[in-house]
Amino acid sequence: MKAVKTNPYISIISEDGDGNYNVIFPDFPGCVTCGKTFEEARINAKEALSLWLEETKIAKRNIFSFTKNASLVTVSA
């Protein structure tokens, strides 16, 4: 069986005020999704990004450069 190549992409999952989770992909404008739980949001994120990338390929649009390094920064509020 041939191995499928996968790539890591940065997503941001945040909880909204109602207990749902929203997902955005900073490198992919317009690629957003959500879920009722964190795990559901993660699953939906994989599907949303796959569809976004597929549509981009079909439409023959260029995919821009990707964020290669990221870090989590925390501050006191």
User: Hey, which residues does 33 pair with through a beta bridge?
Assistant: 23
Which sequence spans correspond to the domains of the chain? 12-58
d(Cα 1, Cα 35) in Å, to the nearest integer?
Answer: 33
pLDDT in tens, the chain (77 residues): 677 677 788 899 999 989 999 999 988 989 999 999 999 999 999 999 999 989 888 777 776 666 777 777 777 76
44 CB contacts (<8 Å, ≥6 apart)?
A: 23, 33, 34, 35
Q: 3-class SS at 12?
A: strand
Q: Where are the alpha helices (DSSP H) in 17-73?
A: 38-58
Where on the phi/psi map is residue 74: left (φ > 0), alpha (ψ -120 to 50), or beta?
A: beta
The pTM assigned to this predicted structure is: 0.75
